[in-house]
Amino acid sequence: MGLTSKKTHPGSWHNIRQLALFELQRLLLQRRGLLALLTFVLLWLLVLAYPIKSAAELMTDPNIRDLASAIDNKMLSQLFRWPVPELAVYWALSLYLFPMFCIMLAAGQFAADKQRGTLRFLTLHCSRSALFFGRFLGMMLIQLLLLILTVVATIVLAMIREPSLSGVAMTDAIWVTINLFVILLPYTALMSVLSLLATSNRQATIYAVLFFTVSAILLPLLDYALPLLGFLDYLVPGMQTDGLLAVSPKAALSSAPLPIIQCIAYLALGLQVIKRGIYESVTMQCPEQTLRQ
Domain that holds residue 84: 12-291
CB-based burial, 168-182: b 16+ in 10 Å, e otherwise: ebeebbebbbbbbbb
* pLDDT mean over 70-75: 74
What is the pLDDT, as a whole number, of residue 192? 95
Instruction: State what percent of residues in the chain have pLDDT above 70.
Output: 90
> How many domains does the chain fold into?
1
Task: Please tell me the pTM assigned to this model.
Answer: 0.88
Whether 2 is covered by a domain: the verdict is no
Identify the CA nearest to 208 among candidates 221, 223, 195, 225.
195
Cα Rg of the chain, angstroms: 21
Whether 246 is covered by a domain: the verdict is yes
- Rounded CA gap, 201 and 22, in Å? 19
Whether 3 is covered by a domain: the verdict is no
Whether 1 is covered by a domain: the verdict is no
- Rounded CA gap, 65 and 87, in Å? 16
Q: What is the pLDDT of residues 170-203, one digit of tens each?
A: 999 999 999 999 999 999 999 999 999 998 889 9
- Rounded CA gap, 175 and 172, in Å? 5
Whether 268 is covered by a domain: the verdict is yes
Q: What is the pLDDT of residues 131-174, one digit of tens each?
A: 999 999 999 999 999 999 999 999 999 999 999 888 899 999 99
Whether 212 is covered by a domain: the verdict is yes
Whether 216 is covered by a domain: the verdict is yes
Q: What is the pLDDT of residues 9-47, one digit of tens each?
A: 444 788 899 989 988 998 888 888 888 888 898 999 899
- Rounded CA gap, 234 and 262, in Å? 8
Whether 234 is covered by a domain: the verdict is yes
The one-letter code for the residue type at 208 is A
